[in-house]
Chains A and B, each alone.
Chain A
Amino acid sequence: MKILNERGFMLLQVVFLAMITSIVAMIFLNGVMQVKNRNATLRLTAIHLANEQIAESESRAAQGILPDGSISWLGVDDDLTTYNSGAKEPVKFDVKTNVENFSDNVALKKITVKVEWKVGEENFQIESEKIIREKILQP
């Protein structure tokens, strides 16, 4: 076999190139890994808050005392603040609820619960709906 007098890269060139590539890769990977999906836990907390508001509304509807229109938070006040984001600063939830008639049946009500929260400068929200039966009080 004929061996040509070829000149390749020097070992040092290869090592220096590998080092530069590794440093760039480390900086890039470090940045990517620090982005954590903390919002998943906050979304879960918000879904359960919406369920809490719907349960309280159902209870009032069963007693015939659920008003139509916009209603305030009916659950436990402490539940509106959470540290589930992993940050030192708490995240506060804002719950907006609307009750309206559903179809022509006055006993059926549609509850729409919107839970909003803010992380840094970003705003997030979830919306939940439920049709419930209200007890009609006799005059």
Chain B
Amino acid sequence: MSSKNGQKGFILAEFIIALPLLILLLYGLANMTLKIISLAREQMANYVLETEAHEVLRRITDDARAAYSVQRLIHDKNLEEVTFVYDVPKYDGFVVFTDVRGRRRYVVDKGRVISKRDGGFSYDIYTTPVTGGNFFADTWVDKLKFSSRSENVLHVAVEMHDNITRQSVKISTSVFMPGCKEKTGFE
């Protein structure tokens, strides 16, 4: 534009052409940054969804293996609850419990799988959510179903989706319950 002490600067015409291009560049960069952030969030949400679905099956199958009896309760066509009983009653006038006593119940409450342990008095004493509450995802349990096709085998199916990505996952498995003596609520 002007020369001062022999230095050459940018001329006004250069700025006029360069400015819109710079704005375009900045817009592209901002767009790219937002895309990277949203993709990272999406991947994180998918990871959490997958991990939580796995955790539901892992917790239920771990508890089922040691159960003395299993009870199924149907709430609607997609949501069921299961209770594992570890008590071993002896009918000699007293009820004698084993070391692992009480019951463990898995129920879906407002889209979250909740594990409730009955310490002998109430289920509400020990309540822990198995899914949900993660900062990186907003998961929702759509289906939790139990069935039993073979002797002492519990089939568990869980279907969940994430409200951020709208991705869903459905995983099923079975567990063998060697010590199970009673099954109630199954066809």
State the total of A-B contacts with C-beta under 8 angstroms: 104
User: Which residues of chain A come closer than 8 Å to B152, judged between CB atoms?
Assistant: 59, 62
User: Which residues of chain A come closer than 8 Å to B153, judged between CB atoms?
Assistant: 55-56, 58-59
Q: Which residue of A lies closest to B43 (CB)?
A: A36
| Total chain A interface residues with beta-carbon distance under 8 A | 40
Whether B50 and A44, one on each chain, are in contact in the complex, defined by CB atoms closer than 8 angstroms, is yes
Q: Which residue of A lies closest to B40 (CB)?
A: A33
Which residues from 4 to 25 on chain A have a C-beta closer than 8 Å to any C-beta of chain B?
A: 5, 7, 10-12, 15-16, 18-19, 22
- Mark interface residues in B57-73 (1 if CB within 8 Å of A CB, else 0): 10001000000000000
A69 to B23, CA, bound (A): 70
Whether B178 and A86, one on each chain, are in contact in the complex, defined by CB atoms closer than 8 angstroms, is no
User: Distance (Å) between the CB of B25 and the closest chain A CB?
Assistant: 6
A129 contacts chain B at the CB level, 8 A cutoff: no
A40 to B46, CA, bound (A): 10
B123 contacts chain A at the CB level, 8 A cutoff: no
Interface-centre pick from A5, A54, A83, A84 (highest chain B CB count, 10 A):
A84
Whether B151 and A51, one on each chain, are in contact in the complex, defined by CB atoms closer than 8 angstroms, is no
Q: Which of the 9-residue segments B86-94, B113-121, B128-136, B168-176 touches chain A?
A: B168-176
User: Which residues of chain B come closer than 8 Å to A75, judged between CB atoms?
Assistant: 149, 155, 172, 174
User: Distance (Å) between the CB of B129 and the closest chain A CB?
Assistant: 21
A60 to B178, CA, bound (A): 11
Whether B21 and A15, one on each chain, are in contact in the complex, defined by CB atoms closer than 8 angstroms, is yes
Whether A26 and B32, one on each chain, are in contact in the complex, defined by CB atoms closer than 8 angstroms, is yes
User: Distance (Å) between the CB of B146 and the closest chain A CB?
Assistant: 12
Whether A19 and B21, one on each chain, are in contact in the complex, defined by CB atoms closer than 8 angstroms, is yes
A41 to B171, CA, bound (A): 9
Q: Which residue of A lies closest to B28 (CB)?
A: A22
Whether A3 and B15, one on each chain, are in contact in the complex, defined by CB atoms closer than 8 angstroms, is no
User: Which residues of chain B come closer than 8 Å to A84, judged between CB atoms?
Assistant: 169-171
User: Which residues of chain A come closer than 8 Å to B14, judged between CB atoms?
Assistant: 10-12
Known: A10-B10, A75-B149. 7 other contacts (CB 8 A): A5-B6, A11-B14, A15-B25, A22-B28, A40-B50, A44-B171, A55-B153
Q: List 29 A-B contacts (CB under 8 A).
A: A3-B5, A11-B15, A15-B18, A19-B24, A19-B25, A22-B25, A33-B35, A33-B36, A41-B169, A44-B53, A44-B54, A45-B171, A48-B171, A49-B173, A52-B174, A55-B153, A56-B149, A56-B153, A59-B151, A59-B153, A60-B150, A62-B151, A62-B176, A74-B150, A76-B155, A76-B157, A76-B172, A82-B170, A84-B169
Residues of B within 8 A of A (CB): 5-8, 10, 14-15, 17-18, 21-22, 24-25, 28-29, 32, 35-36, 39, 43, 46-47, 50, 53-54, 57, 61, 147, 149-153, 155, 157, 167-176, 178
For the complex of A and B, list the 3 residue pairs with the smallest distance between their C-beta atoms, beginning with the closest. Answer: A48-B173, A55-B174, A58-B176
Residues of A within 8 A of B (CB): 3, 5, 7, 10-12, 15-16, 18-19, 22, 26, 29, 33, 36-37, 40-41, 44-45, 48-49, 51-52, 54-56, 58-60, 62-63, 74-76, 79, 82-84, 86
